[in-house]
């Protein structure tokens, strides 16, 4: 009985991160709001989600240093955050999409930090993050 309880506790502990994560299928639908500015295009040129070019390509964003897509003109604040070590993860991309300006102000310690991304996604960020993670090496 004790080993059964221990095994159940271990399984629940291991499942907790998965239960807390977003839903990639919901994120695919939620991403429709994002594709006005962002595309998802594989390194080999395959267009996965045709979208705008106002924002950077989000292929491989999870695990990538913030502000580091070659040939994309980022704002100074996101570049500074990346230079300070900000690497996008499913966890930290959620508060960024909720309020990009506030996120960068917190990350950089500069209350005047700005983001070129003015769109805010108050709900569903964890689902979008889970969706974007499907296009990542991590």
Residue 10 lies in a domain: no
The domain in which residue 59 lies consists of 23-133
Instruction: Lowest mean pLDDT of 11-25, 95-109, 113-127, name the range.
Output: 11-25
Tokens of 74: 């980022």
Residue 72 lies in a domain: yes
Residue 46 lies in a domain: yes
The pLDDT confidence band at residue 21, using thresholds 50, 70 and 90, is confident
pLDDT tens column, 57-93: 999 999 999 999 999 999 999 999 999 999 999 999 9
pLDDT at 17 over 90: no
Element (H, E) at 41: strand 40-41
- Confidence (pTM): 0.82
Phi, psi of 60 (to 5 degrees): 75, 15
Query: For the domain that residue 28 is a member of, what is the CATH number?
Result: 1.10.760.10
| Number of folded domains that form the chain | 1
Tokens of 33: 């709001």
Residue 42 lies in a domain: yes
Residue 92 lies in a domain: yes
Residue 33 lies in a domain: yes
Residue 103 lies in a domain: yes
Tokens of 133: 């993670």
If one counts every other C-beta atom within 10 angstroms of the C-beta of residue 135, the result is: 17
pLDDT at 13 over 50: no
Residue 41 lies in a domain: yes
The pLDDT confidence band at residue 136, using thresholds 50, 70 and 90, is confident
Rounded CA-CA distance 127/111 in Å is 28
Average pLDDT over residues 92-116: 96
pLDDT, the chain, mean: 88
The percent of residues in the chain predicted with pLDDT above 70, rounded, is 84
Q: For helices 76-83 and 100-108, what crossing angle results, to 10°? A: 40
pLDDT at 42 over 80: yes
């Amino acid at each position: 009985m004790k080993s059964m309880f221990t095994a159940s506790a271990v399984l629940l502990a291991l499942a907790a991160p998965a239960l807390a994560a977003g839903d990639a299928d919901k994120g695919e639908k939620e991403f429709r709001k994002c594709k006005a500015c962002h595309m998802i295009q594989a390194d080999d040129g395959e267009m996965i989600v045709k979208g705008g070019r106002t924002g950077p390509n989000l292929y491989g964003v999870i695990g990538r240093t913030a502000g580091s897509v070659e040939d994309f003109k980022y704002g100074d604040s996101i570049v500074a955050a990346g230079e300070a070590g900000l690497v996008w993860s499913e966890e930290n991309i959620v508060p960024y999409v909720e309020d990009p300006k506030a996120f960068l102000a917190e990350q950089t310690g500069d209350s005047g930090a700005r983001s070129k991304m003015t769109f805010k996604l108050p709900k569903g960020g964890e689902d979008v993050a889970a969706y974007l993670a499907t296009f990542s090496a991590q």
